[in-house]
Structures are given as structure tokens and as C-alpha cells.
């Protein structure tokens, strides 16, 4: 199932608050959890993982792209990730240093690096809710699959933009 949460703040990001947000959705992902923050940008992600694809630590999230530009926090599954990985390999668009693991998250990140966000998402067959931070452009993207199968709630709490897989 997995769960994601995050804050985009006009002030500083509180890692303790992110940990509490992750704790509130712990039932969505009992296998692993992760917190990532960029204090200078005022953004932070929290992730709870239910390991389905690539059960190793190489599927840990939030995950940073090999080039360091993107950070993703993702709930869902890309059913055709092996096909997309093959396309990337044929084009020579393998992450610098090679693939870390076999997760659909890593393939999705590399597809975004190679083709851009919208073209990469257009190639994905699956169900997903994604928070993607572009460190170069300093942009937060929230993305859902075409049918909206995976939940993604968002709104304002004072001056902070918050989002999560569940309202609590």
C-alpha cells in the first residue's frame, strides 16, 4: 500500500513533524520508513513502505535521482517498469554509476531524468501518487495516475502547503 506525506513551508521544515506525519500513516507501510528534508528550500518528504517491488534497501524512499536533481516520494506501482527500464537501457539512459536495484521507483526517476516528467508519466502503466521535488527548478510536482486510484490529499495549514496519502 505505502504512504507519503510532505510539507512545503515558507519557514523551516520540522523533521520531527515529518516523523509524526509518517507515524500517522504507519499502517500503510510497515516495512520501512524514510524522511528527507531540504532546509534551504523549505521542503520535506516522509514515506512509509510496504515492500512489493525490490524488497531490498535499494527501494528505500524518499529516493534521489542518480544525478541529484530530483527527489521522489511515491505510493503505487508501475506495472510496466521492466519495459521502461529496457527502453532506457536501449537509449543509453542508465543512471550514472548504473542501476542501484530493481525498484520501479528508480526506473520512474530515471525516466523523468531522461524524458521529462510529463513524457515519463505518459509511458507509465500503473497506479500511483507521486511527490517530486525538482532541486534545480525548485518546483514541487504532485502527480496521480489517470484514474486517481491512489489517494493524495493536499491543502494549506497556515503558510505551509501539506500533502499526504491520508487526511490524518
Residues with catalytic function: 2
SS3 77: strand
Q: How many CB atoms lie within 10 A of CB 150?
A: 21
Q: ∠165-166-168 over CA atoms, to 5°?
A: 140
C-alpha count within 13 angstroms, C-beta hemisphere, residue 24:
16
Place of cell 514515506: 47
Distance CA 131, CA 28 (A): 17
Helix, strand and coil percent figures for the chain, each rounded to 5: 25, 35, 40
Residues forming a β-bridge with 7: 44, 162
Distance CA 151, CA 156 (A): 17
- Are 25 and 165 in contact by the 8 Å Cβ rule? The answer is yes
Amino acid at each position: 500500500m505505502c504512504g507519503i506525506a510532505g510539507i512545503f513551508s515558507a519557514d523551516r521544515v520540522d523533521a520531527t513533524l515529518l516523523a509524526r506525519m509518517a507515524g500517522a500513516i504507519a499502517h500503510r507501510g510497515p516495512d520501512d520508513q524514510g524522511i528527507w528534508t531540504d532546509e534551504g528550500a523549505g521542503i520535506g518528504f516522509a514515506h512509509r513502505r510496504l515492500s512489493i517491488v525490490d524488497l531490498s534497501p535499494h527501494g528505500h524512499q524518499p529516493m534521489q535521482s542518480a544525478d541529484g536533481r530530483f527527489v521522489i516520494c511515491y505510493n503505487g506501482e508501475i506495472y510496466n517498469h521492466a519495459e521502461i527500464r529496457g527502453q532506457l537501457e536501449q537509449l543509453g539512459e542508465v543512471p550514472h554509476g548504473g542501476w542501484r536495484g530493481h525498484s520501479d521507483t528508480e526506473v520512474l526517476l530515471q525516466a523523468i531524468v531522461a524524458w521529462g516528467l510529463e513524457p515519463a508519466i505518459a509511458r507509465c502503466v500503473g497506479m500511483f501518487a507521486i511527490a517530486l521535488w525538482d532541486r534545480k527548478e525548485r518546483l514541487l510536482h504532485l502527480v496521480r495516475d489517470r484514474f486517481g486510484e491512489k489517494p493524495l490529499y493536499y491543502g494549506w495549514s497556515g503558510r505551509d502547503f501539506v500533502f499526504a496519502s491520508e487526511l490524518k
